[in-house]
Amino acid sequence: MQRKSALTRRRTAPPEIAAALVRWQKQHGRHGLPWQNTRDPYRIWLSEIMLQQTQVAAVIPYYERFLKRFPDLATLAAADEDDVLTLWSGLGYYSRARNLHRAARLVASEHAGIFPNDFDAVLALPGIGRSTAAAICVFAHGARHAILDGNVKRVFARCFGVAGYPGDAAVADELWGYADALVPHKNVEAYTQGLMDLGAGVCTRTKPRCDACPLTAQCVALKQNAVAQYPSPRPRKVLPQRRTRMLVMLHAGQVLLEKRPGSGIWGGLWSLPELAESDSIDAVCATRFGVTASAKKALPEVAHGFTHFHLDIEPLRIAVKKIDTRAAAPGVMWLSLADALGAALPAPVRRILAALD
């Protein structure tokens, strides 16, 4: 069946959907989240970035700790990246933290430290896409903009019977058409929050609570008895499997950590040094880090999943007999295990260190 044009969708999208969502949100939605009941764009922006691909329950403690350390945009802009990444450690998707920090510095230098209220200016900041910019402008300024995060895509796909995988451009375009058409002229904050609440707690991916949904009268998927079929899942593909070896070099109760490059996997985090399968452990220890290794022991492997591949890590515990007196190489530091666990570490590295006896 040929897809309707965006213009047709704007003419035919039922206006009662927005009204039903507003009524439902006021009675059944979430009202006590730490980033609600404020117009502070800094707090709203921080929450929206943390909530990208992360559930509310996981975000709340990170959000509260982050605000305690960086209570405003100026403090964040003046911070060292290591401090930002340390507060983010464990939340994942670390490019979000680096972009947050970059954006704070851009606001400080190009917007006189005042978070912009113009949609295009917000969208131009690092790490902010169309839906995130819309949410910030809605909640901070009451502006009329459409959101379309992953949960909302699912709500619209079911409500309007939009077939296909939402990651495909044509499907996403159709969903954006509905998103743009439905934004009300008043109560836009309650409507937007209602969409978020509905997707997070009622119109869930599995076991949706259709009996509690305010949109049952309009839901195409429900009428077709096909809720589980919308939206179509991501096309399955076999993810490649990769392996790496990591050196757990220990000396006098301290462990050696190496700072990773700013871009790429775990960019800017502190990690255990990696070496290729063909590398000599003794040579790497001596030439890269100026240490003489003695006893070596293989530790249990650690598996970690990324979006595009799986990684198996083989940790090798190295007892260091001697450290050269030469100046420490840049990007390398020795820390006690307690201090190392408090650093900005990738999650699997934290697991390796936490398991040391």
Q: Over the stretch 38-65, which tens digit does the pLDDT of each residue have?
A: 999 999 999 999 999 899 999 999 999 9
Could you tell me whether strands 254-259 and 291-298 are parallel, antiparallel, or unpaired per DSSP bridges? unpaired
pLDDT of residue 238 exceeding 50, the answer is yes
Q: What is the pLDDT of residue 12?
A: 54
Confidence label for 5 from pLDDT (cuts 50, 70 and 90): very low
Rounded mean pLDDT of 113-118?
A: 95
What local confidence, expressed as pLDDT, does residue 328 receive?
56
* Rounded distance between C-alpha atoms, residue 40 and residue 283, angstroms: 54
Query: How many beta carbons lie within 10 A of that of residue 297, not counting itself?
Result: 10
Taking all residues of the chain, what is their mean pLDDT, rounded to a whole number? Answer: 90
d(CA 232, CA 70): 40
> What confidence score (pLDDT) does residue 13 get?
60
The mean pLDDT of 156-180, rounded to a whole number, is 95
pLDDT above 90 as % of the chain: 71
Contact by Cβ (8 Å): 215, 21: yes
Domains of the chain plus CATH, in order, are 6-229 (1.10.340.30), 241-354 (3.90.79.10)
- The per-residue pLDDT for 291 is 86
| Sequence-distant (≥ 6) Cβ neighbours of residue 27 within 8 angstroms | none
pTM here is: 0.81
Q: Is the pLDDT of residue 187 over 80?
A: yes
Residue 356 has pLDDT above 70, yes or no: yes
Q: Evaluate if residue 164 carries a pLDDT over 90.
A: yes
For residue 325, the model assigns a pLDDT of 59
Confidence of residue 191 (pLDDT cuts 50, 70, 90): very high
Whether the CB-CB separation of 21 and 191 falls below 8 Å is answered with yes
Q: Which pLDDT score, from 0 to 100, does residue 284 have?
A: 86
**For the segment 325-347, what is each residue's pLDDT rounded down to a tens digit?**
554 567 888 999 999 998 889 99
For 250-272, what is the mean pLDDT?
Answer: 89
Asked if residue 194 has pLDDT above 90, the reply is yes
Query: Which one from 16, 48, 274, 301 is the annotated catalytic residue?
Result: 48
The model's confidence at residue 7, banded by pLDDT at 50, 70 and 90, is very low
48 is catalytic: yes
